[in-house]
Structure 1
Amino acid sequence: MTVEEKKDRDDKLLAAEYALGVLPHAERLAFSARLDHEAELRSEVEFWHEHYEPLTEAIDPATPPARLFRQIELQLFGEANTAQTAASNSTGLWTSLGFWRGLAFASLVGMIVMATLVFVPLRVPESPVPTYVAELSGDADLVQLVALYEEGTGRLRVNRTKGEAPSDRDFELWLVEGGNDPVSLGVLPREPKGVLQIPEALRAKIPGGVLAISDEPAGGSPTGTATGPVLAVGNVSVI
């Protein structure tokens, strides 16, 4: 076997594992970076997505154990943010089945693997508190973020799953409501996970709005409007 043939075989295996969702984190990041400029590799991943998809018919729904709720919150938002939210809103996002219905993955097996880390269907409460979700991404796929807005508390919980601001720059989050000018919701934490407190005057504008992330000077936009490129956007939808 030639070196080129071995590389081709290895790439096929990597594509299968990538679509399956079982690549270690570091290898997944490296492979994902290659997808941006290797069309053949993207086609191979798409092949495996289609190959795994029929498996959805072979899986019966199952209720996850109660302890998984705590593990998911810790994985997404850390100890402090989880404790804060649990104390004020025990029937929020994590007990809302609508959120999980609104998120789709490319293949069933990949979905199962990701669900154990991030998105798992949980019991619907009898009287759910209104909660909203937005998934932000952009054409260049430089930044990805999941935002969860709890209407009852005014908290916007964020989990940046991809992208990091340079040391001398900041990511700023904006709210766009209808045809109005964007309004800043504040500079995103440098850590991937965090909580923003939405001002009272803006809370009613979050549902049905659009969230956007721009690249700004350290400390945020000096003008009150976005001065850098918009890296990711996402619609706010009710759960």
Structure 2
Amino acid sequence: MDLSDKKKGLQLKDLELILGYQFKDPHLIRLALKHPSVVGGVNDSNQRLEFLGDRVLGLFVSECLFLKFRHESEGALAKRFSSLVKRDALARVAQNLGIGPFIEMAPSELASGGRSNPKNLADALEAIIAALHLDGGSDVSRDFVIRHWGPLSEEHIQPPSDSKTVLQEWSQKQGLGLPVYSIVSRSGPPHQPIFEVEVKVSGVNSVRGSGTSKQNAEQFAAKNMLENIECNN
């Protein structure tokens, strides 16, 4: 978007109305909307904010589920959590809010449908959450997450399938057999180990994931492979 400062200001006000928050530091929200395609370095795009926003979102979605589903096990809550923080869920929230038109990107990215690309929408939304958190504090970011993810959590009467189950169902449907998981490394102290696991599916590039247990690492590996498959389709 080649916008004048005046037009940027008007667009910022429009977005603030959508978000229900007025920024004290407008630079934060403008940075949150800056796709990597328009800048030369990672510090000039929304990637660092996306990193923080992912963690902020995870914290408050976890809190929401913990308080709302008081009688569910840790495993059931984890399945709900995975469903609510995956790319599809973020893209859906971003689409409902109308975030796409505000994302600044290179003409080539724009021409390829970049403002409706689920990954771009999800990344921008995570960056916006981080901007809200940095500018307004945890109360503002928590309110935003609960307001938009709370209703989504109600849609899942039964916890959704976990990443390993989804990957297994996909690979069998494609006639590729079962995913094979193997431990690549184990590091850290005995009381707090970190496992790295590799998952292989016939005809698909192998992917790794890390976690504090073998099962947790397998879930992350499966999640990463599913995201790679989604990006390539």
User: Normalising by the residue count of structure 1, what TM-score does the alignment of the two structures yield?
Assistant: 0.25
Which has the larger share of strand?
1
More helix by share: 2
TM-score, scaled to structure 2? 0.25
